[in-house]
Amino acid sequence: MRSLLEQDLLDELVLLIHPVVAGEGRKKLFADDATLKKLQLVSARPTSSGVIIATYRPTR
């Protein structure tokens, strides 16, 4: 996903955001030195378990 985003080949990004706090050892979705890419929120939908399904598209 990172390389697709860097090369502007990502059409859509769907994130499932879980309502939990994770400790150390989790890999970040984006590196600290990653180039800033602007994304537009297309939709955000909560599920009955509290998970949010968020869909983003790159702004071009």
Total structural domains within the chain: 1
In a domain, 48, yes or no: yes
In a domain, 44, yes or no: yes
In a domain, 13, yes or no: yes
Strand order in the sheet with 52-58: 13-17, 52-58, 39-46
Q: End-to-end CA distance of the chain, in Å? A: 18
Q: What is the pLDDT of residues 6-49, one digit of tens each?
A: 788 889 999 999 988 777 766 777 777 777 888 999 999 999 99
pTM for this entry: 0.74
In a domain, 30, yes or no: no
In a domain, 51, yes or no: yes
Please say if the pLDDT value at position 4 is more than 90: no
